[in-house]
A and B are shown apart, each in its own frame.
Chain A
Amino acid sequence: MATRHDTAAAPPAKEGGAAPAGPPVESPETIRKRARLSRRWQRDVRWSPYAFVSPFFLLFLAFGMFPLVYTAWASLHTVELTAPTDMEWAGLRNYTRIFDDEFYWNAAKNTFTIGIISTVPQLMMALGIAHLLNYKLRASTFYRVVMLAPYATSIVAASLVFVLLFGRDYGMINWFLGMFGVDNIDWQNDKWYAQFAVSSIVIWRWTGYNALIYLAAMQAIPQDLYESAALDGASRWKQFLHVTLPSLRPTILFTVVVSTIGASQLFAEPLMFDANKGASGGPQHQFQTLGLYMYEQGWVNQHLGRASAIAWTMFLILIVVGIINYVISRRLRASS
């Protein structure tokens, strides 16, 4: 309580310092005034912090909490976007039908596979790039800015470019592969090719971002560790394995958590990858993610209740992912 200046126990000394001057004579009015001021200060000290933090919480209530509660409520009803106030109680029906909704499970599977083939290479590449950038380089700032450029690019614009690159008949990638005698690949309509193409957009966008996070962590590793490792005759690769990696463990864990959450919410890339239909994720839903499926149900088909239920299952999945990550990170910390 360093900010308290109103403690009645220590009235401010008068001119002349602490020399005894007898009890101060104060009129009842001054005393009342002081008491009033003191009360105001007390209230100020007690309540001001709440006032200062309140904007966030008020906004959170309006834009975070309310949608959450409303979504939960809507998920228990049959309700259409065309008439959102017109709700019909459905109980858990929106949830139970997910069990035999093959589109949902298809989307869940796609989210998982796209998540794996985008996150794993992405983080490994980011580590490698960060390691390279960590050496003394000329124009290292330039490389760092370049690394971050994809992250700063509009995802929609970038996806549209990727759609053109991955075009079946006139795409640049097929043209390039064609020089090696590879037949035109139908990137959009073949399941695995499509998922790979979507993942490549994700990888392109986030690798540099993760690399910079790794780089920041690497620069916090004391240089003498490397020096002593070098003195012991460890090669650069060995240094990477035995010095860099262990020191980066918490950072890697952090990026894994963030990327996992990002992957499970994957939306814009697959949406833009099918320029025409978007939300269905290809003619056979081969790259429809959970995020897309929720959007399709809610905004294309206008089934608000179903979409809300899907949103809540996604939320639950994220919580499970979070718990798993937490458990693993505790284990790791305990073992180190």
Chain B
Amino acid sequence: MRAPTRSARRVVVLAAVASLGAGLLAGCADDGKDEDNTSSGSGGGKTKITLGLFGSFGFEEAGLYKEYEKLHPDIDIDQTVIERNENYYPPLVNHLTTNSGLQDIQGIEVGNIAEVVNNYSDKFLDLSKYGKESDYLPWKWQQGTAKSGSTIGLGTDVGPMAICYRKDLFEAAGLPTDREEVGKLWTGDWAKLVEAGKDYKAKAPKGTTFMDSPGGLFNAIIGSENERFYDSSGKVIYKTNPAVKKAFDLTAEAAEDGLVGNQTQFQPAWETTISNSKFAAMACPPWMLGYIESKSKPESAGKWDVAAPPKAANWGGSFLAVPKSGKNAKEAAKLAAWLTAPEQQAKLFSKRGSFPTAQAAYDLPLVKDAKNKMTGDAPIGQIYAPLAAELPVQVVGPKDQIIQQGLTDNGVILVTQGKSPKEAWENAVKTIDNNLEK
């Protein structure tokens, strides 16, 4: 009786190996097929739409998913969020090139939109049939549109930048505190802002600096330029563009004079400087107010205010795009269009401070009458709306992020660490050129 037992055992083992192998292979396979994609499928007959996002878009926090699910009972929304775009974007590129692992809706940062539009427009659905072009700021709509005319990204928000400042610290340093007067200190010229910083420093409360970080200041100055790192023909010009050098030198000057803190934005230590009230002013789009609030101690509420920047400048703003390969691409496109429609953008602004990219939203009460606790109920909707209208139409290049990070994190930051502006510039250029070279 040995032989049959043996072969029976062998069958069992082989079956086990085979099923294990199949399991492994299935695990590796494109997961596009393991779920029923019709609405009559599993999950209580619901269509599941997934979003892949970075940072805090805040759709969920603002209750928009719940609202949409209520409007469309057959839809189920699920999101995965990666905190930093640096960690979000490379895998997204990977998924796009391999056409797998994509969510139904993908968020795209403005710094990457050019690269995505240039390289991958054929992988995305044309959303121009879903969103209404006239609702949006024209230049924002253009940024998400490929040469072929296909609009692959609908703008979620723009970043009209203002200068947020601490009224208590300004007062202690003998500067005006009224937002009109503060804005007048530096109207029209970033150099005047740095001058105001020198006035601040002369009588500043001990241990504080005028602005938070060299990176933040540089970002603000360069954000008011139309052409920054690329010219409109797509050539890299950051080294020769006088606007870039001017912004760099002005920031380096401020850093040499100790007007900016020795910090890199969004690092834990920088966040601590917010909660410890270590600086008096910073460049801030509306979303930054929410950020300040989340990092501040409760007693800081009401001590901030918002003044006009020297020049209108843009910081941030993202897009939603719908990959064609998605199971529910059409449903996803409807959701993306709904999330970026003026009414929803207004809600998002009132809850999360993301400033609408849909100009049609600016007249809605949720924007017009918006107030903000950190700024002592300043009418932020009315402050930011005119700034948004003046935003420069920026040339966005594919490697903008790499260049900007090089100039700040491998550049101006060094001046706060005792290097000369010249050394800092050279270090930045060396790093950027090495990073750009193929």
The interface of chain A, by Cβ under 8 A from chain B, is: 5, 37, 41, 44, 48, 51-52, 55, 58-59, 78, 80-85, 101-103, 163-164, 167-170, 186, 189, 275-278, 280, 283-285, 296, 299-303, 305-306
B86, B264, B269, B438: the one within 8 Å of A300 (CB)? B86
**B409 at the A interface (CB under 8 A):** yes
Check A189–B10 contact: CB distance below 8 A: no
Q: In the bound complex, do residue B268 and residue A300 qualify as a contact, i.e. CB atoms below 8 Å apart?
A: no
- Interface flags for B180-224 (1: CB within 8 Å of A; 0: not) read 000000000000000000000000000000000000000000000
Q: Does B93 contact A (CB under 8 A)?
A: yes
The reply to whether B431 and A44 form a contact with Cβ atoms under 8 Å apart is: no
The residues in B between 381 and 398 inclusive whose CB is less than 8 angstroms from any CB of A are none
Kindly state the separation between the CA atoms of A85 and B99 in the bound complex, as whole angstroms: 13
Q: How far is the CB of B215 from chain A (nearest CB, A)?
A: 9
Tell me, rounded to whole Å, the shortest Cβ–Cβ distance linking B398 to chain A.
8
Q: Which one of B14-22, B343-351, B352-360 is at the interface?
A: B14-22
Given A83-B97, A168-B269, answer yes or no on A299-B438 (Cβ-Cβ < 8 Å): no
A163 to chain B, nearest CB (A): 7
Given A82-B115, A280-B409, A284-B410, CB of A300 within 8 Å of CB of B3 = no
Q: Which residue of B lies closest to A279 (CB)?
A: B86
Q: How far is A301 from B24 in the complex, measured between Cα atoms in Å?
A: 32
Interface size on B, residues (CB 8 A): 41
Most B-side CB within 10 Å, residue of A44, A189, A305: A189
Give the residue of B17, B264, B435 whose beta carbon is less than 8 angstroms from that of A301. Answer: B435
9 contacts between A and B (CB under 8 A): A81-B94, A82-B93, A82-B97, A276-B266, A280-B431, A283-B409, A284-B427, A296-B435, A300-B86
Partner of A51 from the list B14, B268, B276, B414 (CB cut-off 8 Å) is B14
Measured CB to CB, the residues of B under 8 A from A are 2-3, 10, 13-14, 17, 20-21, 24, 86, 90, 93-94, 97, 115, 119, 262, 264-269, 272-273, 276, 402, 405, 409-410, 413-414, 417, 427, 430-431, 434-438
Q: Can you name 15 extra interface pairs (CB under 8 A) apart from A58-B21, A163-B268?
A: A5-B3, A52-B13, A55-B20, A55-B24, A78-B438, A81-B90, A82-B97, A85-B97, A275-B268, A276-B265, A277-B264, A284-B427, A285-B431, A300-B90, A301-B402
| Chain A, residue nearest B120 (CB) | A82
Q: A161 vs B378: C-alpha distance in the bound complex, in angstroms?
A: 37
The residue in chain A whose Cβ has the minimal distance to the Cβ of B14 is A51
Q: Which residues of B contact A82 (CB under 8 A)?
A: 93, 97, 115, 119
CB pair A84–B86 under 8 Å, yes or no, is: no
Bound form: Cα–Cα A296–B86 in Å:
11
- Is there an interface contact between A48 and B93, defined as CB atoms closer than 8 Å? no
